[in-house]
Amino acid sequence: MGIGRTPSDQVRAGHSRRWLLRAGGLVALGGAAAPLTGCDLFDRDKEPPAPDALEPLAAEALALEARYRAAATAAPALAERLTPIADAHRAHAEELRRVIGRPAPSGTPAAAGSASAPDAVLTELRR
């Protein structure tokens, strides 16, 4: 008979000590992993995040871009002067969206307009 061995006539029916240690380890491991499952057990009362304070600025920059593009379309003589300003508003809106972490809405609102006098277009833009 070897040291640390139980004679076969003394073996009890049931589970071995190794089986109990393994089962206990699995239960402990499962209990430790339960909070990591993302079941939202503790986050149920949280409100959705508030809109970013930069959202209105990004929307305004896009609106200004659309106004300048519409003005350039309405007065083709001013297109060379107004297009860089529209491009700057677009770049400003894109940078704000990057900082916010949300993409810009797809497409630019199109403003229909007929050809107008450059002075009238500039007066409208100043307002």
pLDDT for 17-64, tens place per residue? 887 788 777 777 666 665 555 555 566 667 777 778 889 999 999 999
Domain boundaries in the chain? 55-126
- The reported pLDDT for the residue numbered 85 is 94
What is the distance between the alpha carbons of residues 96 and 60, in angstroms, rounded to a whole number? 11
pLDDT at 68 over 90: yes
- The reported pLDDT for the residue numbered 124 is 84
pLDDT digits (tens, 9 = 90+) for 74-101: 889 989 999 999 999 999 999 999 998 8
- The reported pLDDT for the residue numbered 93 is 93
Residue 61 near residue 93 (C-beta atoms within 8 A): yes
pLDDT at 110 over 60: no
What is the distance between the alpha carbons of residues 63 and 57, in angstroms, rounded to a whole number? 10
What is the distance between the alpha carbons of residues 90 and 77, in angstroms, rounded to a whole number? 21
Residue 96 near residue 54 (C-beta atoms within 8 A): yes
Residue 89 near residue 31 (C-beta atoms within 8 A): no
pLDDT at 65 over 80: yes
Range in 2-16, 45-59, 113-127 the model is least confident about: 2-16
- The reported pLDDT for the residue numbered 34 is 59
